[in-house]
Amino acid sequence: MDSERPAPPTQERRVHRPFYLVAAMVLVWIAGVEIFLDAAKIATVLRSGALPDVETVVRAGGVDSYSLVGQVLMAARLTVMGSVPHLAFPLAVARAILACTLIFASTTVLLGRPTARVFALQSLGANAIFAIIEYALLKQVRGTYIDMAARGAALINDPTSSLSLPEFAHLIGYWLERVIFAARLGVPFAAALALTTQRTKVFFAEAAAAAESAEEEP
Protein backbone atom coordinates (compact mmCIF):
# COMPACT_ATOMS: atom_id res chain seq x y z
CA MET A 1 0.00 0.00 0.00
CA ASP A 2 1.05 3.59 -0.58
CA SER A 3 0.82 4.27 3.14
CA GLU A 4 3.62 1.79 3.94
CA ARG A 5 6.73 3.34 5.37
CA PRO A 6 9.70 3.00 2.93
CA ALA A 7 12.97 1.48 4.07
CA PRO A 8 15.65 3.98 5.10
CA PRO A 9 17.46 5.05 1.91
CA THR A 10 20.85 5.01 3.59
CA GLN A 11 20.54 1.29 4.21
CA GLU A 12 19.76 0.63 0.52
CA ARG A 13 22.79 2.44 -0.86
CA ARG A 14 25.31 1.45 1.77
CA VAL A 15 28.26 -0.49 0.36
CA HIS A 16 30.88 -2.57 2.04
CA ARG A 17 34.48 -1.44 2.30
CA PRO A 18 36.61 -3.03 -0.42
CA PHE A 19 38.68 -5.81 1.11
CA TYR A 20 41.86 -4.41 -0.40
CA LEU A 21 41.18 -1.06 1.26
CA VAL A 22 40.94 -2.73 4.66
CA ALA A 23 44.15 -4.69 4.02
CA ALA A 24 45.99 -1.57 2.84
CA MET A 25 44.90 0.49 5.84
CA VAL A 26 45.87 -2.24 8.30
CA LEU A 27 49.30 -2.32 6.64
CA VAL A 28 49.55 1.47 6.88
CA TRP A 29 48.58 1.34 10.56
CA ILE A 30 51.25 -1.26 11.31
CA ALA A 31 53.84 0.69 9.32
CA GLY A 32 52.91 3.88 11.17
CA VAL A 33 53.35 2.23 14.57
CA GLU A 34 56.72 0.72 13.56
CA ILE A 35 57.99 4.03 12.19
CA PHE A 36 56.80 5.89 15.28
CA LEU A 37 58.48 3.47 17.70
CA ASP A 38 61.78 3.58 15.81
CA ALA A 39 61.76 7.38 15.52
CA ALA A 40 60.73 7.82 19.16
CA LYS A 41 63.55 5.53 20.28
CA ILE A 42 66.13 7.51 18.31
CA ALA A 43 64.81 10.85 19.57
CA THR A 44 64.76 9.62 23.18
CA VAL A 45 68.31 8.27 23.05
CA LEU A 46 69.66 11.39 21.37
CA ARG A 47 67.82 13.59 23.85
CA SER A 48 69.25 11.71 26.84
CA GLY A 49 72.73 11.46 25.37
CA ALA A 50 73.04 7.85 26.61
CA LEU A 51 74.55 6.48 23.42
CA PRO A 52 75.45 2.78 23.27
CA ASP A 53 79.01 1.58 22.80
CA VAL A 54 79.64 -1.05 20.13
CA GLU A 55 82.53 -2.72 21.96
CA THR A 56 80.47 -2.95 25.13
CA VAL A 57 77.66 -4.63 23.21
CA VAL A 58 80.11 -7.15 21.79
CA ARG A 59 81.66 -7.91 25.18
CA ALA A 60 78.21 -8.38 26.74
CA GLY A 61 77.45 -11.20 24.31
CA GLY A 62 74.79 -13.53 25.68
CA VAL A 63 73.28 -14.45 22.30
CA ASP A 64 74.38 -16.26 19.17
CA SER A 65 76.79 -14.49 16.84
CA TYR A 66 74.24 -13.54 14.20
CA SER A 67 71.84 -12.05 16.74
CA LEU A 68 74.79 -10.18 18.25
CA VAL A 69 75.56 -8.72 14.83
CA GLY A 70 72.02 -7.33 14.80
CA GLN A 71 72.58 -5.71 18.20
CA VAL A 72 75.88 -4.28 16.97
CA LEU A 73 74.11 -2.76 13.96
CA MET A 74 71.51 -1.08 16.17
CA ALA A 75 74.16 0.23 18.55
CA ALA A 76 76.30 1.55 15.71
CA ARG A 77 73.30 3.27 14.15
CA LEU A 78 72.43 5.11 17.34
CA THR A 79 76.08 5.99 18.01
CA VAL A 80 76.61 7.52 14.59
CA MET A 81 73.33 9.42 14.76
CA GLY A 82 74.50 10.76 18.10
CA SER A 83 77.46 12.32 16.32
CA VAL A 84 75.09 14.48 14.23
CA PRO A 85 72.27 15.31 16.68
CA HIS A 86 71.56 18.62 14.93
CA LEU A 87 70.41 16.56 11.95
CA ALA A 88 69.27 13.23 13.35
CA PHE A 89 67.15 14.56 16.24
CA PRO A 90 64.82 16.89 14.27
CA LEU A 91 64.48 14.26 11.55
CA ALA A 92 63.48 11.65 14.14
CA VAL A 93 60.92 14.00 15.72
CA ALA A 94 59.45 14.90 12.33
CA ARG A 95 59.27 11.22 11.35
CA ALA A 96 57.46 10.38 14.60
CA ILE A 97 54.90 13.14 14.01
CA LEU A 98 54.28 12.07 10.43
CA ALA A 99 53.95 8.45 11.57
CA CYS A 100 51.15 9.57 13.90
CA THR A 101 49.29 10.97 10.89
CA LEU A 102 49.53 7.54 9.24
CA ILE A 103 48.07 5.88 12.32
CA PHE A 104 45.26 8.44 12.59
CA ALA A 105 44.50 8.44 8.86
CA SER A 106 44.34 4.66 8.55
CA THR A 107 42.12 4.45 11.62
CA THR A 108 39.62 7.01 10.29
CA VAL A 109 39.53 5.25 6.91
CA LEU A 110 38.79 1.93 8.61
CA LEU A 111 36.01 3.66 10.55
CA GLY A 112 34.54 4.96 7.30
CA ARG A 113 34.72 8.66 8.10
CA PRO A 114 33.58 10.60 4.99
CA THR A 115 36.55 13.00 4.97
CA ALA A 116 39.15 10.36 5.81
CA ARG A 117 40.10 9.54 2.22
CA VAL A 118 41.48 12.99 1.38
CA PHE A 119 43.38 13.27 4.64
CA ALA A 120 44.82 9.77 4.19
CA LEU A 121 46.10 10.62 0.70
CA GLN A 122 47.72 13.79 2.03
CA SER A 123 49.33 11.88 4.90
CA LEU A 124 50.64 9.15 2.60
CA GLY A 125 52.12 11.72 0.23
CA ALA A 126 53.78 13.67 3.04
CA ASN A 127 55.33 10.53 4.52
CA ALA A 128 56.64 9.35 1.14
CA ILE A 129 58.21 12.73 0.37
CA PHE A 130 59.76 12.90 3.84
CA ALA A 131 61.18 9.38 3.44
CA ILE A 132 63.00 10.47 0.27
CA ILE A 133 64.35 13.62 1.91
CA GLU A 134 65.49 11.78 5.04
CA TYR A 135 67.13 9.02 3.01
CA ALA A 136 69.13 11.60 1.06
CA LEU A 137 70.16 13.59 4.15
CA LEU A 138 71.32 10.51 6.08
CA LYS A 139 73.36 8.97 3.26
CA GLN A 140 76.67 9.61 5.03
CA VAL A 141 75.25 8.39 8.34
CA ARG A 142 74.21 5.08 6.81
CA GLY A 143 77.63 4.40 5.34
CA THR A 144 79.41 5.33 8.55
CA TYR A 145 77.29 3.22 10.87
CA ILE A 146 77.43 0.16 8.62
CA ASP A 147 81.24 0.41 8.53
CA MET A 148 81.31 0.81 12.32
CA ALA A 149 79.09 -2.25 12.73
CA ALA A 150 81.38 -4.27 10.47
CA ARG A 151 84.38 -3.31 12.61
CA GLY A 152 82.44 -4.24 15.73
CA ALA A 153 81.45 -7.59 14.23
CA ALA A 154 85.14 -8.31 13.69
CA LEU A 155 85.53 -8.32 17.48
CA ILE A 156 83.05 -11.20 17.84
CA ASN A 157 84.94 -14.40 18.50
CA ASP A 158 83.04 -17.29 16.95
CA PRO A 159 85.26 -19.92 15.28
CA THR A 160 82.19 -22.01 14.42
CA SER A 161 80.68 -19.34 12.17
CA SER A 162 80.68 -20.33 8.50
CA LEU A 163 80.43 -16.68 7.41
CA SER A 164 82.68 -13.69 7.85
CA LEU A 165 80.83 -11.73 10.52
CA PRO A 166 82.13 -8.33 9.34
CA GLU A 167 80.94 -9.10 5.82
CA PHE A 168 77.65 -10.37 7.23
CA ALA A 169 77.15 -7.15 9.20
CA HIS A 170 77.93 -5.03 6.16
CA LEU A 171 75.58 -7.05 3.96
CA ILE A 172 72.71 -6.96 6.44
CA GLY A 173 73.11 -3.25 7.12
CA TYR A 174 73.33 -2.41 3.42
CA TRP A 175 70.22 -4.31 2.39
CA LEU A 176 68.20 -3.59 5.53
CA GLU A 177 68.38 0.15 4.93
CA ARG A 178 67.27 -0.28 1.33
CA VAL A 179 64.44 -2.65 2.19
CA ILE A 180 63.16 -0.23 4.84
CA PHE A 181 63.35 2.66 2.39
CA ALA A 182 61.50 0.64 -0.26
CA ALA A 183 58.81 -0.23 2.29
CA ARG A 184 58.42 3.41 3.32
CA LEU A 185 57.68 4.24 -0.31
CA GLY A 186 55.90 1.05 -1.31
CA VAL A 187 53.34 1.02 1.51
CA PRO A 188 52.10 4.60 0.82
CA PHE A 189 52.02 3.88 -2.92
CA ALA A 190 49.96 0.71 -2.49
CA ALA A 191 47.64 2.43 -0.01
CA ALA A 192 47.19 5.40 -2.36
CA LEU A 193 46.19 3.01 -5.14
CA ALA A 194 43.62 1.42 -2.84
CA LEU A 195 42.23 4.84 -1.94
CA THR A 196 41.84 5.98 -5.55
CA THR A 197 39.92 3.02 -6.99
CA GLN A 198 36.33 3.49 -8.12
CA ARG A 199 34.97 1.11 -5.48
CA THR A 200 36.70 3.09 -2.75
CA LYS A 201 35.36 6.38 -4.10
CA VAL A 202 31.85 4.90 -4.16
CA PHE A 203 32.24 3.69 -0.59
CA PHE A 204 33.19 7.13 0.69
CA ALA A 205 30.46 8.80 -1.37
CA GLU A 206 27.96 6.47 0.27
CA ALA A 207 29.48 7.15 3.68
CA ALA A 208 29.13 10.90 3.11
CA ALA A 209 25.52 10.49 1.92
CA ALA A 210 24.68 8.37 4.96
CA ALA A 211 26.23 10.97 7.27
CA GLU A 212 24.20 13.75 5.64
CA SER A 213 21.00 11.73 5.94
CA ALA A 214 21.69 11.08 9.60
CA GLU A 215 22.17 14.80 10.24
CA GLU A 216 18.90 15.67 8.47
CA GLU A 217 16.86 13.21 10.55
CA PRO A 218 14.90 14.88 13.38
The answer, yes or no, to whether residue 117 has pLDDT greater than 50, is: yes
**Residue 136: is its pLDDT beyond 50?**
yes
DSSP-H helix ranges across the chain: 9-12, 19-48, 54-60, 65-82, 85-111, 116-137, 139-153, 165-195, 198-216
What angle do the packed helices 65-82 and 139-153 form, to 10 degrees?
140
121 or 210: which carries more pLDDT confidence? 121
The per-residue DSSP string of 113-142 comes to -TTHHHHHHHHHHHHHHHHHHHHHHTHHHH
pLDDT in tens, 81-104: 999 999 999 999 999 999 999 999
Q: Where are the domains of the chain?
A: 18-210
pLDDT tens sequence across 146-204? 999 999 988 887 767 677 888 999 999 999 999 999 999 999 999 999 999 999 999 98
Question: Residues 11-56: pLDDT tens digits?
Answer: 444 557 899 999 999 999 999 999 999 999 999 999 998 898 888 8
Query: How far apart (Å, rounded) are the C-alpha atoms in residues 130 and 113?
Result: 26
Query: Helices 65-82 and 85-111 sit at what angle, rounded to 10 degrees?
Result: 110
Cα–Cα dist 111/104, whole Å: 11
pTM: 0.85
